[in-house]
Chains A and B, each alone.
Chain A
Amino acid sequence: MASSNREKISEWVKSTQIYKAIFRHGYEDTPRNRSLTTFSNVLYHLHPVKTRWESIKFRYTWCMGGVSLLLFVMLALTGVMLMFYYVPDVRRAYQDIKDMMTVVSYGTTFRNIHRFAAQGMVATVWIHMTRVFLTGSYKSPREFNWIIGVVLLMLTLLLSWTGYLLPWDQLALWAITVGTKMAAATPLFGVEGPFGVQLGMRPDNDVKFMLLGGTEVGQNALLRFYVLHCVVLPMLVVVFLAVHFWRVRKDGFSGPL
């Protein structure tokens, strides 16, 4: 009795215009409908229409690409949560992190999820690329996607590094000092790099100056790295991830020969 009512209700829900506008197709198990399910669903659409069974075997892929994506989503969610308590002000940043670890309910949990997911993402991206390299999956027709992957690795490392600077402790201060000193050594664009001086680079106009927003590590540097960490780099990652998945869909998953 109860189950027939449930069927009636579900039939009614499926007959409404709202449901049809969202889902667009029924459940008939026909080849056409199966294609429609894949093509019309935003989540399924990320995957190729057909996938060979061997190519998604755990032993072959190690699932590291998917785990990287999962960690990125977790980082985005917990990162937004941390933004509710963290202020990128040199007088407050360290204290805000201390508060997060001591007096904010579940603050320790969410900060640690963010930290460890970041460490984990660096590891899984490396392992993913190692697998792609060892299985030769970077070869034609996937050479373009390998380059996108290398860009994503760089973005992952930059995200990890810029996040490391935000607590504004001794680690952060000297990491910025070292990191931007490397920027000063950039050829042409850095004052200490080859041909920098010849091109008119000074400590107050080179690439290091642009990164720090000044000639020394201070408030402007913290604000710039905060914006890079929370806005610029994540947006770039999302764009490159979209291209990465689109290429996976077009080229198909690689698999054992």
Chain B
Amino acid sequence: MKDIDETITRRDFFSHVGWGGVAATLGGSAFSFYRFYFPNVLYETQKVFKIGKPSDYPEGLSEKWKKERQIWVVRNERGLYVMISICRHLGCTPNWFQDKQAFLCPCHGSIFSIEGNVLGGPSPRLLWRAALKIDPTDGQIIVDFNHRQDPDPMSTEQGLRVDEASREVEPFFLKV
């Protein structure tokens, strides 16, 4: 009897094939049900876009793309980076004040330095920087809005900040 119990009979085999088919059908339809809700085409502004050549940006901060793309382009003595103009507290849009050399968020008063460090206010994180790339064909900067640098800040007497050298790394910084 034991031998018979351990052999797969024809009946068992077809039963397994049948139930396997049922399971595959249910699994497949569950997957398609899930996948359906992730659109393949989005009718919203491009999240990967070109902003012109590095030589278009002199030293300092450019607000050229803030309205259209929600970014600032900053060049310092070492190179160029793109900062995303979204306050890390509740997602409002801060403003750049040339006289104070700082970003002030109008809603709850977060203050950021030009590097994105938190100088004051409720913001728990530093401003994001977007990933950059040079298009080899036309030399323009390609910004990837969805790929963001988000360093863990240290609390210091001056506020929440990270060492600038750790932020000026590829692909978030262009040495040009």
Whether a CB of chain A sits under 8 angstroms from the CB of B1 is no
CA distance A106 to B36 in the complex (A): 6
From DSSP, what is the main secondary structure of chain B's interface residues?
A: loop
CA distance A127 to B121 in the complex (A): 71
Whether a CB of chain B sits under 8 angstroms from the CB of A4 is no
Q: How far is the CB of A105 from chain B (nearest CB, A)?
A: 4
Residues 101-118 of A at the B interface (beta carbon under 8 Å): 103-107, 109-110
Tell which of A84, A103, A106, A109 touches B41, judged by Cβ atoms closer than 8 Å. Answer: A103
A84 near B40 with CB under 8 A, answer: no
Q: Which residue of B lies closest to A102 (CB)?
A: B41
Whether a CB of chain A sits under 8 angstroms from the CB of B136 is no
Whether a CB of chain A sits under 8 angstroms from the CB of B19 is no
Q: How far is the CB of B126 from chain A (nearest CB, A)?
A: 36
Number of interface residues of B (CB under 8 A): 9
For B37, the chain A residues whose CB sits under 8 A away are 84
Q: Which residue of B lies closest to A77 (CB)?
A: B33
Whether a CB of chain A sits under 8 angstroms from the CB of B38 is yes
From DSSP, what is the main secondary structure of chain A's interface residues?
A: loop
Residues 46-66 of B at the A interface (beta carbon under 8 Å): none
Whether a CB of chain A sits under 8 angstroms from the CB of B166 is no
CA distance A181 to B35 in the complex (A): 42
B32 near A104 with CB under 8 A, answer: no
CA distance A156 to B81 in the complex (A): 61
CA distance A88 to B156 in the complex (A): 54
Whether a CB of chain B sits under 8 angstroms from the CB of A99 is yes
Q: How far is the CB of B57 from chain A (nearest CB, A)?
A: 36
Q: Which residue of A lies closest to B38 (CB)?
A: A105
A105 near B41 with CB under 8 A, answer: no
Q: How far is the CB of A127 from chain B (nearest CB, A)?
A: 26
A81 near B41 with CB under 8 A, answer: no
Tell which of B36, B39, B40 touches A81, judged by Cβ atoms closer than 8 Å. Answer: B36
Q: How far is the CB of A220 from chain B (nearest CB, A)?
A: 24
For A104, the chain B residues whose CB sits under 8 A away are 36, 39-40
B40 near A103 with CB under 8 A, answer: yes
Q: Mark B19-42, 1 if CB is under 8 A from A, else 0.
A: 000000000000011011111110
Tell which of B36, B39, B40, B41 touches A110, judged by Cβ atoms closer than 8 Å. Answer: B36
CA distance A118 to B33 in the complex (A): 19
For B38, the chain A residues whose CB sits under 8 A away are 105
CA distance A110 to B41 in the complex (A): 17
Q: How far is the CB of B110 from chain A (nearest CB, A)?
A: 36
CA distance A84 to B38 in the complex (A): 10
For A81, the chain B residues whose CB sits under 8 A away are 33, 36
Q: Which residue of A lies closest to B31 (CB)?
A: A106
Q: How far is the CB of B32 from chain A (nearest CB, A)?
A: 4
Q: Which residue of A lies closest to B41 (CB)?
A: A103
B40 near A106 with CB under 8 A, answer: no
Q: How far is the CB of A247 from chain B (nearest CB, A)?
A: 34
CA distance A92 to B36 in the complex (A): 19
8 smallest A-B Cβ distances: which pairs? A106-B32, A105-B35, A103-B41, A103-B40, A106-B36, A105-B36, A106-B35, A81-B36
Query: Which residues does A use to contact B, with CB under 8 Å?
Result: 81, 84-85, 99, 103-107, 109-110
Can you identify 22 A-B contacts, CB atoms within 8 angstroms? A81-B33, A81-B36, A84-B36, A84-B37, A85-B39, A99-B41, A103-B39, A103-B40, A103-B41, A104-B36, A104-B39, A104-B40, A105-B35, A105-B36, A105-B38, A105-B40, A106-B32, A106-B33, A106-B36, A107-B36, A109-B32, A110-B36
Apart from A81-B36, A99-B41: 10 A-B pairs, beta carbons within 8 A: A103-B39, A103-B40, A104-B36, A104-B40, A105-B35, A105-B36, A105-B40, A107-B36, A109-B32, A110-B36
